[in-house]
Amino acid sequence: MSSRTYSQAMKLARLAARWPGIPGFLPPLIAVTDPQRTPDVAAFARGLPDNCALIYRHFGRTERFAEAHDLSAIARARGLVLLIAADPELAEACDAEGVHWPARLVREAQRWRNTHSGAIMTMSAHNRRELALAARTGADAVLLSPVFATRSHAGKAGLGPLRATSLTTRARLPVYALGGITADTAKRLANSGFSGLAAIDGLKP
């Protein structure tokens, strides 16, 4: 991870520190991996600032077992909070601190929550209905996206600060902003009701 990437991560971390996160549970900055945009997940994790969480999304990669165990070791050494996306078996195998679930897997998330009440569980959401579902499912926090235009939702306009704020202020659980989050765009989210920030490209060179 280049020094420039670390600088971007530090800028986001400093901005995210203005948000509360979930004290004692989740830090105010969450990094999210992507097989295409963060192909070297170990390097990505090593370049993250302290007091950060990391969601590992493998999408069925054959390297997922080795990568998850590498990330687990890095997380322990760095004090990062590691969550595995949509793969509770892998999360248990690599001793991750919890699981992140996409909104479409709400039933699976509920079943997992019923037997893992002490683990961290986050979910994704894109609208008011999915925010409500995440709260009913027992998620500890939700990642709301896309707040700004992003490659993850190509051709789709972001929610924007005003609409995002209208959603977060009515949410019944902590909400993290995801989608087009950079040190510049994050400044537009002051007093928005978010608990923290989440990013992919915003932590890249």
Torsion sign across C-alpha atoms 60, 62, 63, 68: positive
Instruction: Give every residue of the chain whose pLDDT is below 70, as ranges.
Output: 1-6, 152-155, 205
- The 10s digit of each residue's pLDDT in 100-137 is 999 999 999 999 999 999 999 999 999 999 999 999 99
Reading the block at residue 172, the tokens are: 């019944």
pTM listed for this prediction: 0.94
Separation of alpha carbons 8 and 203, rounded Å? 6
Q: Provide the pLDDT for residue 153.
A: 57
Separation of alpha carbons 20 and 36, rounded Å? 31
- By the 10 Å C-beta count (0-12 exposed, 13-18 middle, 19+ buried), 191 is classed as exposed
Tell me which residue range forms the domain holding 112: 3-203
- The 10s digit of each residue's pLDDT in 77-97 is 999 999 999 999 999 999 999
Q: Provide the pLDDT for residue 23.
A: 85
CATH of the domain at 87: 3.20.20.70
Q: What are phi and psi of 161, to 5 degrees?
A: -60, -40
Helix axes 106-115, 128-137, angle to 10 degrees: 20
Burial 154-184 (b: 16+ CB within 10 A, else e): eeeebbebeebbebbeebebbbbbbbbbbbe
Q: Provide the pLDDT for residue 121.
A: 98
Q: Assess contact for 176 and 194: CB atoms under 8 A.
A: yes
Q: Assess contact for 159 and 146: CB atoms under 8 A.
A: yes
At residue 165's C-alpha, the angle toward residues 109 and 34, to 5°, is 45
Number of domains in the chain: 1
